[in-house]
Structure 1
Amino acid sequence: MGPPRTLRIEADKSTSTLCVVGTEITVHLSRCAPIQSKFFSVKCTSNVHCRVVPATVAGGTLLSAQPLTRNSLLFISMDAASELPNESKLSVRFYGSKTEPLGNAVLHLTAVEISLDVDADRDGVVEKNNPNKASWKWGPKGHGAILLVNCDSESYFLKKKLDNENEEIDKVSDLKDMSRMILRTNGPAQLPKGYKLSLHITQTDAESVRVFSSNGKPQSSNLSTLKKMLFKLFVEEYPLVLNKDELAGEVPYLGGKSELEFFVEGLRFPDKDFEGLVTINLSLLEPSAQGFPETPIFTDKVVFRVAPWIMTPNTLKPVEVFVCSTSDNYDFLKGMKNLVRKSGYKLKICHEYMNRGDRWMQDEIEFGYIDSPHHSFPVVLDSPRDGHLQNFPYDVLLGPDFGYVTRYATQEEVSSLDSFGNLEVSPPVTVNGKKYPLGRIIIGVAFPTTAHGRNMTKVVQDFLWAQKVQEPIALYSDWLVVGHVDEFMSFVPAPDKKGFRLLLASPDAAYKVFTNLQKNGHGKAKMFPGKEEEISVDDILSNEEFRAENVYVQNCIDWNRDVLKKELGLEEEDIIDLPILFKVVPEDENRAAAYYPDMVNMIVLGTNLGIPKPFGPQVNGSCALEAEMRSLLEPLGLNCTFIDDFASYHKLLGEVHCGSNVLREPFAFKWWNLEL
């Protein structure tokens, strides 16, 4: 039962009104009674229900005279729709004494059923009048409708434009990206004169949502119709009802038992200034005196939550691998092609005419997706770094069922930490009993005590936090020249324990490898064999300044290790230390970079790993560092493939992961089932 509305009736006058089934009309009897009235009685047709507060005297009925007080209230309701306007009737008679009539107020009633409906139980079906449609609740027992940001583009060949930047529907395929909303009505063929239905939103919500209507006309099946006529037809089939310029719009009452379908379009993702909830209202308007606007006598409303952007971790199945082709990365590209082919996935190569020499595919974009009960599709997050790859995500990736989102920052705000090698996500974890079934986002920032360090720009951080479903963790990465978390950490799938392992770069582990080589008589073995950087194990171990630099690096990584253990609920057995050394660059404020190819900076394709080839000391015809990596990772069922990125990536302060990206399947877990 909806909240009651107040209605004025007058003695010796006839009034007409609409009564919405499931609601009550309140009449303050003392306000409309003649001055000398002390009693009243009520008479109504059988399909009208009445009750009086205070209650009638014991044994009395409303047909007999009842005492009239200042607080006498008459409540009127109807439980079935009318077939004709004004077909039901109610009268209130007022008395000076029980036998002295003073006046009679007559009310003609028309009952209608009105329900604005959405998929509030999240099963893909727009059910009728769900009691929870006007609110949102997280969890498997929660409720509330879901709205996708319509951030893909149905256009293949024309100049691309995000669908939610277009205020017309020119392809029916665009409707699947929107949420259905249905106006269900039941009543007479026409409403009494002057009554109308209005759909409306607030000015604030209009920044986040747009509503189209289906006008109920059948779509043309004439294949010979010109394209421009089809375009016109689609626009007319689905007229725009609500947007930022039209906060309210009249919608037709179709008569009888009818349904009118709407399509609701999300315009923006949750962010610092937008929690993600929008409300759409439907009001029944009653005519006032001539020259005055109509007044609402009934309002139904529905609430949507805009679906968040969700990142995908290394443990999810790959769909497609993305790399760049440049004039100098033949060896890298050859290794990647072989790995991807062996793994059974698709490879997309961005050629030099598009990348213009910008090879850092990981840094430009991050893949994620959006999901709802009725539809889902991948969405690429474009970083604000804006290198020469800046057109790739929009010009190449954006398309039907492939969305695009970005956040803009001034170039003065953007630093290396805004490249998305500095944006990762963990596999699902449970921390102190709290479940994160979609994992947790990981970013790198300046050390808390550093006043002037580099940080990921605020607009990107605000966006990531606002998605809510993958609560971010901030690590300290500003100690690195490039400053990305993927330079010292990664995740790989595992068949046991938590289903994954955290891989951390470890100078300590590297020194153990080199010390064991020396003890076993391989001190003369050379790092970087055959390259100009060639150096012996003995020389590396004897360099005390170099060792001090790596002690500092290990301290930085250990600080992050402790944060990750706490925030991801990890034990030491969940972590594998990889043997990697770093060098400090004095001219870059003593920040560090990998000394040899950074093996933690790998690509993960199921159980196949593409690892930067380290060019370590050769012992018995094999690389000691590669052998150590295999001994650490192959027991987990992982296959190690070492890819030569030395000249084309490592020397430019990047590695395999920096130069590649992976589109992955979404989580099976539905984000709206999170317990928040």
Structure 2
Amino acid sequence: MNWMRYIAVALINAFGVVVGIILVPAPPTFAQSAPTDLDLEYHINDSGLQLQGFETDTRKNPNFETIEITPKSLAELYQLRERIQAELKKISNPPDINSNLEAWEYQLQLKQYETLVKANRQVETQIKFEETTLETWNQAIKIATEAATFGKQPETHTVKDWETAQQLWVQAIDTLRKIPRESFLSAKAIDKIVEYQGYLAIATYQRALAQQSQKEQPEKPQTISPISTANPQFPGFKLYGDTNRDGVVNEVDEQRPEQWSLSVGPLVLFNNDDDDRDGLPDWREKGVNGAEDEKDLAIVHFKVSQDYNGSELLMSVDEAARPYINLFQKTSTGWKAVDLSGTTPLEFSSDIILGVEAKQFANQNWSGLINLKATARKQGIIMATDTISMGVAPWIMSPNTAPVSEVHISDRGDNQAIVQEVKTIVEKTGANVKVTPGATLWMKGTQEIGYVQFPNTEGLKEYPVVLKGNRSTESDDYAQSLMNQNFGWFEVGKPRQLDVFNQWADWYNNLAVTPALPKYPLGRIYYGTADNVSLNPEVLEFLKAQKIQGDPVAIDTSWLMVRHVDEIINFIPSPSGEPLMLIASPGEGIKLLKDLEKQGYEGAAINRELSTQTTVRAALNNQLLMQHNQNLQKQKIDPLINQLKKEFNLRTDQIIEIPAIFSYSGYAWWPNLINCVYVNGELLVSNPKGPLIDGRDYTQEYFKRRVAVAGINVDFLEDDYYQELQGNIYSATNTTRLGNEQPFWQDISTP
């Protein structure tokens, strides 16, 4: 059987859509192939839409014509899709193979259906492509609209405003550049880029004018306060540190707080220990001294997306903090110091690791707050910025009730007996005794040993930090000798030349902190003041700047000879956990003497074996002395008790009055029992050398009854050596104590 050859002639409407096909017999010279060789295809390409028949090359077949349509917008693509889908509905079902169609007719109808389906898919793909491009266009327009707001009333905008405008115009331009050349919007995007580059030039010019105007204005004092840094302004450009203070910097920490405070946000450590043991605090090394020193760095992650490839990444810090911190970048060759002025770029990476250390605690000149800023700059234009707020971990004082790890005492030759006595008592509690030959005799006055807490990967890091003394008449070098790995050292202020009455005001016997109190979970600091002269003002301002143990409470010590607050009050623990305050009481001292007289012991010796030895009768017969002590009780001690009940939130049953008698010059007549040292369940107290009644020291027994509620063991030490030098066991020792088991930021609730 011979095949009849036909030519399919497509009927195409104005949109280029096939609306019908007619068959005409083909001349013999043209009919060269069977109908099964038909190749009917529908195309969407750069030149538009076309239907091709048996021959796609019209040069071979001038009788065959291809009709094309070229959509020029997304709207026209939508219309074309509607036309194609309308045609598909007409032939929604494929030809029935059982119908009375010739094989080639069936094949032709099937090809027509498949071609329309394929064309519909091509149009859908093109529509999605253009819709995505339109979203990019709209994003660029939105950014440009925001940038344009800075052009209104330009004289009211600051340098920072114009920097923001620059960033926005650059963002808008970069967004338009993402539009592909194949898109309908390509030509419009090019026109907009040219337009926006002009606006960028205007913003750059206005910024220069604002900078010039700013230079001409007088400088104002700079105040740095916490800023809101919760949400980065630029996607893919973010700094974050150990926000939750768990010692690990990870994705959880990307949720930054609105503002940094002592209770939330990344902490920075004042790196004042000596990990490489070279005699210098680590912050002075200008580098990172190995793995131990690395643990003292506050780690910051700097995430940078590919959008900022080719940009310079710069770091800077607010002017208030700049003198007080060091910044390092972790590189393939180790930690590298980072320029904080924002001029030298970092080594580029998508995940930069930074390490921050402080060179100072917060003080009167610096709040301890650090605003660390990252900037992406490209061709002189700022592309993105992000700022993270951090703060220096505070220095915390330890109360007399805290657990002791080490007791410090000097071996001066004549005090070996008391040194051995201290060792015997202290070492059985598990604490160490550090005996230093030839060191300063008065260990308490030469230093104040506190501590710091800092989160790291191994958990809570805590180590002691010693504050060097400011005594003008004694050497305070001992404090620096304690500096070691995980033992810090620092100094505040300088020795002052004070008058003869106040020459001891800056000794650290004149400074202490309470145990935990209501509203003061880490205790409250107190100090002595007399005749408008108090503890070194620089030290007081430093203590206030820590903001963690309350505003220091001033206590009148003007009536004492040495004028130290440790002669008036002290604290010991109790089984209930509530602290007990011991306070020197001349009233109780008079009562003790009168009780002895009533019992017939007026001839008993007080201050036995000391150069000030006398009798009960002699003391009571000194009416001026008794009147002086009655006045002290009424005019000094009773008002002080009322003051401290309020300042320290104490109840009456938490206050224990300890018998004492003071001379006219303000010196304790017998060894002052307030000057006691608590060491892990043992209370080290000077032997009061009281009257011996039936072989027992009456004053010792009186004291033990008064403090029995504390449930601690009392050890009376033979510190005659110190007593003759107008000192005692308290002033001759110092203690390294452990900090709270719980991190300070979990104890406090105030910012």
TM interval, shorter chain, is 0.7 to 0.9
Letter in 1 for 2:441: R
Letter in 1 for 2:533: R
For 2:367, the equivalent position in structure 1 comes to: 275
Check whether the contact 1:475–1:563 (CA below 8 A) recurs between aligned residues.
no
- Is 2:595 aligned against 1:516? yes
Q: Does 1:119 align with 2:242?
A: yes
Partner of 2:228: none
1:581-631 per-residue CA deviation (whole Å, 9 max, x = no partner) reads 11122xxxxxx0111111110110122101000111110111100010111
Q: Structure 2: any 5+ residue segments left out of the alignment?
A: 1-129, 144-150, 153-164, 197-233
Look up the match of 2:319: 203
Query: C-alpha distance in 1, partners of 2:292/2:584?
Result: 47
Correspondence for 1:362 among 427, 444, 451: 444
- Given that 1:198 and 1:249 are in contact with CA atoms closer than 8 Å, whether structure 2 keeps it comes out as yes
**Residue segments in structure 1 that go unaligned for 5+ positions in a row:** 1-41, 56-69, 96-100, 218-236, 288-293, 586-591
CA distance in 1, matches of 2:745, 2:414: 46
Q: Please show how residues 525-674 of structure 1 align to structure 2 within 5 Å.
A: 525-554=604-633, 555-585=635-665, 592-646=666-720, 648-673=721-746, 674=748
- Residue 104 (str. 1) matches residue 175 (str. 2): no
- 1:580–1:598 Cα contact (<8 Å) kept: yes
Distance 1:565 1:313 in 2: 18
Q: CA deviation at 1:527?
A: 1.0
Aligned residues between the structures:
552
Letter in 1 for 2:511: L
What residue is the counterpart of 1:222 in the other structure?
A: none
With over 3 angstroms needed to count, the CA separation of the structure-2 counterparts of 1:186 and 1:541, relative to structure 1, is same
2:254 is paired with a residue whose SS is: coil
CA contact (8 A) 2:444 2:731 kept: yes
Partner residue of 1:468?
Answer: 547
**Displacement of 1:135 after TM fit?**
2.8
Question: Following the alignment from structure 1 to structure 2, what is the Cα–Cα distance between the partners of residues 47 and 315?
Answer: 67
For residue 304 of structure 2, what is the aligned residue in structure 1?
A: 185
Shift of 1:334: 2.7
Contact 2:237 2:385 in 1 (8 A): no
**Separation (CA, whole Å) in 2 of partners of 1:196 and 1:77:** 15
Q: Given the alignment of the two structures, is residue 50 of structure 1 paired with residue 123 of structure 2, yes or no? A: no
**How far apart are 1:389 and its partner, in Å?**
4.2
- The 3-state SS of whatever aligns with 1:642 is strand
Give the SS at the match of 1:349.
strand
**Conservation of the 8 A alpha-carbon contact between 2:240 and 2:256:** no
| Aligned AA (2:625) | F
CA distance in 2, matches of 1:114, 1:515: 78
Q: 1:367 Cα deviation (Å)?
A: 0.9
Query: Which is richer in strand?
Result: 1
Residue identity opposite 1:136 in structure 2: W
In 2: Cα distance, 1:49 partner to 1:638 partner: 78
State the Cα RMSD in Å. 3.3
Q: CA deviation at 1:551?
A: 2.1
- For 1:546 and 1:418, the matched residues in 2 are separated by 29
Relative CO higher for 1 or 2, CA cutoff 8 Å, sep ≥ 6? 1
Question: Equivalent of 2:477, from 385, 388, 391?
Answer: 391
Q: Structure 1 residues 92, 191: CA separation in 2 closer, same or farther (over 3 Å shift)?
A: farther
Q: Is the 8 A contact 1:200 1:249 kept in 2?
A: no
Question: Residue deviations 1:195-251, cap 9 Å, x none?
Answer: 22111223332112110111124xxxxxxxxxxxxxxxxxxx2111035xx454301
Letter in 1 for 2:317: I
Q: TM-score, normalised by structure 1?
A: 0.75
| AA aligned opposite 1:45 | T
Instruction: Give the superposition deviation at 1:94.
Output: 12
CA contact (8 A) 2:268 2:393 kept: yes
Alignment match, 1:420? 508
Distance 1:437 1:89, change over 3 A: farther
The AA in structure 2 aligned to 1:124 is: G
Alpha-carbon distance in 2 for matches of 1:360, 1:102: 80
Moved over 6 A (4+): 52-55, 75-78, 90-95
Q: 1:390 to 1:545 in 2, by over 3 A?
A: same
Confirm or deny: 8 A CA contact 1:133 1:145 kept in the other structure.
Answer: no
Determine if the alignment matches structure 1 residue 263 to structure 2 residue 355: yes
How far 1:578 sits from its partner (Å)? 0.8
Tell me by how many angstroms 1:360 deviates.
0.5
Deviation at 1:121, TM superposition (A): 2.1
Matches within 5 A, 1:164-179: 164-179=283-298
SS in 2 for 1:417: coil
- The answer to whether the aligner puts 1:439 opposite 2:523 as a matched pair is yes
CA distance, structure 1, for counterparts of residue 267 and residue 611 of structure 2 = 59
Cα distance in 2, alignment partners of residues 574 and 92 from structure 1: 84
Query: Residues 314 and 103 (structure 1 numbering): CA distance in 2 closer, same or farther, change over 3 Å?
Result: closer
- 2:388 pairs with one of 292, 298, 302: 302
Change (3 A) 1:359 1:54: closer
What residue number does 1:18 align with?
none
Distance 1:623-1:122 versus aligned 2 partners, 3 A rule? same
Structure 1 residue 130, shift from structure 2 partner: 2.3
One-letter code of the match for 1:167?
A: K
TM-score by length of 2: 0.68
| Closer, same or farther: CA 410–639 of 1 in aligned 2, 3 Å | closer
How far apart are residue 51 of structure 1 and its match? 5.0
1:152 equivalenced with 2:273 (yes/no): yes
Structure-1 separation of matches of 2:544 and 2:611: 46
- Pick closer, same or farther for the CA change 1:397–1:532 going to 2, 3 Å: closer
Task: Name the CA shift for 1:103/1:561 in 2 (closer, same or farther; >3 Å).
Answer: closer
Q: How does 1:80-91 map to 2 (within 5 A)?
A: 89=180
CA contact (8 A) 1:438 1:669 kept: no
Deviation by residue 1:292-341 (Cα, 9 ceiling, x = unmatched): xx121210111111111100112221111111111222332232122212
User: Which amino acid is the alignment partner of residue 282 of structure 2?
Assistant: D
